[in-house]
Chains A and B, each alone.
Chain A
Amino acid sequence: MIRSLRVACLLAFTSVTKGNIRIALLTMLILILVALNLVFVPGLLDGLAWGANDKLINTYSSDIVIESGGASHFIPDVGQLLSEIRQIDGVDSVTARNYIGAEIEYEGKYLGAAVYGVNPDTEREVFTIADSMAEGNYLDADDVDTIVLGIQIAGADDTELELYARSLQSVHAGDTVTVTYTNNIVKEYTVKGIYYTEFIQTDLQSHISEGEFETIAPYLSDNASAVYVKTAEDADIDEITRRIMYTTEGLRITTWEDHAGLVDSMTESFEIIEIIIDTVNLLVAGITVFIVTYIDVAHRRRQIGIQRAIGITPAAITLSYVIRAVFYTVVALSLSMIIYRFGIIPLEARYPFHFPFGDVFLQISPFVLIRTALLLFAVSVISALLPVRGVIRTKIIDAIWG
Chain B
Amino acid sequence: MIKVQKLTKIYNMGNVKVKALDGVSFNVVSGDMLAIMGKSGSGKSTLLRQMGLLDLPTRGRIFLGRYDVTRLSEGQRARLRLKHLGYVFQEYALLGELTAHQNVYLPGMMLGQRERDYKKRAAELLKIVGLGKRIHHYPKELSGGEQQRVAIARALINSPKVLMADEPCANLDTISSGRVMETLCNLNRDMKLTVVFVSHDPGDRQYARHVLTLGDGKIIEREGKIT
Q: Within 8 Å CB of A4, what residues of B?
A: 110
Q: Is A134 an interface residue (CB 8 A)?
A: no
Given A308-B78, A313-B78, 15 new contacts (CB under 8 A): A4-B110, A6-B109, A10-B106, A11-B95, A18-B138, A303-B95, A306-B89, A307-B95, A310-B82, A310-B154, A310-B155, A311-B82, A311-B107, A397-B54, A400-B89
Q: Within 8 Å CB of B110, what residues of A?
A: 3-4, 7, 311-313, 316
* Pair B106/A312 contact, Cβ less than 8 Å: yes
Residues of chain A from 299 to 324 with CB closer than 8 A to chain B in the complex: 303, 306-313, 316
Q: Is B81 an interface residue (CB 8 A)?
A: yes
* Pair A310/B78 contact, Cβ less than 8 Å: no
Query: In the docked arrangement, what's the CA distance between A396 and B98, Å?
Result: 21
CB B30 to nearest CB in A, in angstroms, measures 21
Query: In the docked arrangement, what's the CA distance between A248 and B216, Å?
Result: 106
Bitwise, B41-78 to A at CB < 8 A (1) or not (0) is 00000000100101100000000000000000000001
Query: In the docked arrangement, what's the CA distance between A15 and B112, Å?
Result: 22
Q: Is B102 an interface residue (CB 8 A)?
A: yes
Q: Within 8 Å CB of A307, what residues of B?
A: 95
Q: Is A19 an interface residue (CB 8 A)?
A: yes
Q: Is B173 an interface residue (CB 8 A)?
A: no
Q: Is B29 an interface residue (CB 8 A)?
A: no
Q: Within 8 Å CB of A15, what residues of B?
A: 97
Set A11, A303, A311, A400: member contacting B78, Cβ < 8 A: A311
Q: Is A269 an interface residue (CB 8 A)?
A: no
Query: In the docked arrangement, what's the CA distance between A2 and B114, Å?
Result: 12
A13's nearest neighbour on chain B, judged by CB, is B97
Given A7-B109, A309-B87, also A19-B97 (CB < 8 A): yes
Q: Is B93 an interface residue (CB 8 A)?
A: yes
Q: Is A395 an interface residue (CB 8 A)?
A: yes
Query: In the docked arrangement, what's the CA distance between A330 and B56, Å?
Result: 42
**Count, A-B residue pairs, CB within 8 A:** 69
Q: Within 8 Å CB of A3, what residues of B?
A: 109-112
Query: In the docked arrangement, what's the CA distance between A307 and B106, Å?
Result: 9
Q: Within 8 Å CB of B158, what residues of A?
A: 311
CB A21 to nearest CB in B, in angstroms, measures 12
Chain A residues touching B, range: 20 to 34
CB A80 to nearest CB in B, in angstroms, measures 81
A303's nearest neighbour on chain B, judged by CB, is B95
Query: In the docked arrangement, what's the CA distance between A245 and B128, Å?
Result: 91
A397's nearest neighbour on chain B, judged by CB, is B55
Given A14-B98, A306-B93, A310-B154, also A397-B107 (CB < 8 A): no
Set A18, A306, A311, A316: member contacting B97, Cβ < 8 A: A18
CB A35 to nearest CB in B, in angstroms, measures 27
List, sorted by A's number, 27 A–B pairs whose CB atoms are closer than 8 Å: A2-B112, A3-B112, A7-B109, A10-B106, A11-B95, A14-B102, A17-B97, A18-B96, A18-B138, A303-B96, A309-B52, A309-B87, A310-B82, A310-B87, A310-B154, A311-B78, A311-B82, A311-B83, A311-B110, A312-B107, A313-B78, A396-B54, A396-B55, A397-B49, A397-B54, A400-B54, A400-B89
Given A310-B107, A310-B154, A395-B55, also A10-B102 (CB < 8 A): yes
Residues of chain A from 313 to 352 with CB closer than 8 A to chain B in the complex: 313, 316
* Pair A309/B54 contact, Cβ less than 8 Å: yes
